[in-house]
Amino acid sequence: MGKGGMSQDGDGRGEGEENMAAGFLGLTTSRSNLSSSLLLKLRCADFIVKEPMVIGHECAGIIDEVGPQVKSLVPGDRVALEPGISCWRCQLCKEGRYNLCPEMKFFATPPVHGFSCQSDEVNRKIHLGQPELVEVVHPADLCFKLPDNVSLEEGAMCEPLSVGVHACRRADIGPESNVLVMGAGPIGLVTMLAARAFGAPRIVIVDVDDYRLSVAKDLGADEIVKVSTNIQDVAEEVVQIHKAMGARVDVSFDCAGFDKTMSTALSATSTGGKVCLVGMGHNEMTVPLTPAAAREVDVVGVFRYKNTWPICIEFLRSGKIDVKPLITHRFGFSQREVEEAFETSAHGGTAIKGDPMLERASSAGRVGEDVTIAMTVVGALEGDDRNMEWIRGRL
């Protein structure tokens, strides 16, 4: 398979098969974000979970084998993987906005399974509690070499960090941008870290949870503001936000995506500023858009990312961003631990990011412009009927 497509040459052989890039050796660690939108609501924007789905789109590993066309990677290289394969043929791809490609194949986004189960055939082979070798074919140009001082765990964190980096680029964050972040969850925190790395001089972060606010403060927020879930409190809380900022709110990032958070962001942002909608909590929202438009507050959409892995890796290498504090929990793949992971994510508490641990495995490797990821999944989170019933039973 080539870059997101199934292009065939004259003899019916996929040209990607000749240009396959590299093989990921099994991951000693990989990461899998337990997304509340997909796993609890079974929906994120227009992506709807209609059948059992394997999760996992944040991963890093070790190259096992490279194809003859690959010059940038060699066996033994540790790499982080960008999980979306676009078509590279549509107008959006040609314009460089490949994150918006309508043919995007993105790990763990319906109908595409997560990185640990990339075909129906493999999915059928996996049974909870039984180790299996799983291969993931992926383009070499979406595998990014990690420096010696960046761990595989940190490499996997390039995925959520990329969301924050892309948001900051969309908002043109710089040394003159005072930033408000709505939501101190994983994406809110990486957006805060990215904004600081881009030079934002002052950052205020808002949340309903004391623990997450304390984490935000420890990670470098200048001020924190605790708010309620009551939309009637918006006006009063905007006053608190302005007091905490002590200056203009040039850019607000809504990293939750609810009626109240977006209403607060639109109201708190200064005239002529920007509001970036990063979170997708509600599919539809009722917000005070007309008053914001009258003040020329621009609303900017943010969806995934593009061309972010190199800068994320450099931020990690240089120490400009430290994502290690965000990895708060680690879980195995037994049924018991899988359920514990979902419970931990759903209940919040001290959880920021969970890290499923995969055993190391060898790979036969494949050749071409694509990468083969091979790993032994111990008690894989298959997303079969048992797990789906378990999730729905806790909605």
Which of 53, 79, 231 has its CA nearest to residue 141?
Answer: 79
- d(C-alpha 286, C-alpha 246), whole Å: 28
Q: Name which residue leads in pLDDT, 169 or 67.
A: 169
Q: Which helix or strand (DSSP H or E) is residue 267 part of?
A: helix 259-268
Q: Name which residue leads in pLDDT, 377 or 96.
A: 96
Residue 168 has pLDDT above 70, yes or no: yes
- pLDDT tens digit string along 60-92? 888 777 777 888 888 888 989 998 889 999 999
- pLDDT tens digit string along 255-272? 999 999 999 999 999 999
Residue 144 has pLDDT above 50, yes or no: yes
Residues 192-202, mean pLDDT to the nearest whole number: 98
Q: Name which residue leads in pLDDT, 225 or 333.
A: 225
Cβ-proximal residues to 10 (8 Å cutoff; 6+ apart), any chain: none
Quote the crossing angle between the two packed helices 335-347 and 385-392, to the nearest 10°: 30
- d(C-alpha 217, C-alpha 327), whole Å: 16
Read off the pTM. Answer: 0.79
- d(C-alpha 168, C-alpha 311), whole Å: 12
Residue 297 has pLDDT above 90, yes or no: yes
Residues 149-168, mean pLDDT to the nearest whole number: 95
Classified as helix, coil or strand, 264 is helix
Residue 208 has pLDDT above 70, yes or no: yes
Which of 185, 190, 256, 181 has its CA nearest to residue 222?
Answer: 181
- pLDDT tens digit string along 316-356? 999 999 999 998 888 776 778 878 887 887 776 666 655 55
| pLDDT tier for residue 136 given thresholds of 50, 70 and 90 | low
Residues 234-239, mean pLDDT to the nearest whole number: 98
Residues 213-223, mean pLDDT to the nearest whole number: 97
CB 305 within 8 A of CB 161: no
| pLDDT tier for residue 137 given thresholds of 50, 70 and 90 | low
What count of Cα atoms within 13 Å lies in the side-chain half-sphere of residue 87?
Answer: 12
Share of the chain above pLDDT 70, in %: 68
Residues 368-375, mean pLDDT to the nearest whole number: 42
- d(C-alpha 278, C-alpha 59), whole Å: 22
Which of 303, 306, 370 has its CA nearest to residue 98?
Answer: 306
What angle is formed at CA 279 by the lines to CA 274 and CA 282, rounded to 5 degrees?
A: 110
The segment with the largest mean pLDDT, out of 59-63, 96-100, 139-143, 283-287, is 96-100
Residues 125-131, mean pLDDT to the nearest whole number: 40
Residues 84-110, mean pLDDT to the nearest whole number: 90
What angle is formed at CA 302 by the lines to CA 246 and CA 218, rounded to 5 degrees?
A: 45
Domains observed in the chain: 25-157+308-377 (3.90.180.10), 159-301 (3.40.50.720)
- The alpha carbon of 206 is separated from its chain's Cα centroid by a whole number of angstroms, namely 21
Residue 384 — φ and ψ, nearest 5°? -75, -175
